[in-house]
Amino acid sequence: MNFVTLHSNAVKFSCSCINYMALIGEYIKNLIQLVFAPEKGWEDIEGRSLEDNAPDGISQRNAVHRSSNPEVEDQKAARDYYQCFLPLAALCGSSAFVRLFYSDALDFLGAFQRALITFVTLFLASQIARFGFLYYLPRLMRTGMEISRARVLNMIMYCLTFLGMITLMSNIVKVRIALIEFLPFYVIFIIWKGWKYLGVDERHEGIFMILATALILGSVYIISFILNSLL
């Protein structure tokens, strides 16, 4: 009986690991596509969302812009936040410990401080950006279009994960590369190409890009500056 129970638990654990790896893999695949082809990336994310949430017998081609079941879309976005975004943010922060192998100027406490600052910055930025989006975005939406909390969270997650990956690269690459210093500004292009995904009115495209950049990129720099000053 104990062997059967142990075997059953092992199978369940293996299945959970496989499902989790598939979830992370899908998230990273979406991120890579957003980096290399932002507009197509947002379209594909939207298309997969519509396919997952459309009622049986309704094809993606006949689906409306908004999910037929917003609650399901919100649940999936929340799942990605806790199971994909936060673990990847922790991974990006933990990459600071790699510097211990090649930097004599950094000790364990300094590496831990860097890791903590990176994670807390990404976490707080996600909350601040989400609050700002939900407050200001309804004024920029197309007529009759309701704001999707799930899509707002998706945009924030992917953009912040991209910024976290830049931090990871700067930590694991021993030689300083000037290009890495400018990569964070590429997130502006990713944000700009996502205005249709969120349902923003074309007339407010420029305002949206400025607002979203300030909320996502600006909050990261401000929080990071404050934390570095305090610690």
pLDDT band, residue 65 (cuts 50/70/90) = very low
pLDDT at 26 over 80: yes
Average pLDDT for the chain: 86
Q: What is the CA radius of gyration of the chain?
A: 20
pLDDT at 93 over 50: yes
Which residues have a Cβ under 8 Å from the Cβ of 58 and sit 6 or more positions away? 68
Residue 70: its pLDDT value, please? 79
Q: Would residue 145 be called left, alpha or beta, if left means φ above 0 and alpha means ψ between -120 and 50 degrees?
A: beta
pTM of the model: 0.88
Which residues have a Cβ under 8 Å from the Cβ of 4 and sit 6 or more positions away? none
pLDDT at 20 over 60: yes
Residue 106: its pLDDT value, please? 82
Residue 54: its pLDDT value, please? 54
- Token pair, residue 186, equals 């590429």
Q: Which residue has the higher pLDDT, 179 or 203?
A: 203
pLDDT at 66 over 70: no
pLDDT at 24 over 90: yes
pLDDT band, residue 4 (cuts 50/70/90) = low
Residue 140: its pLDDT value, please? 92
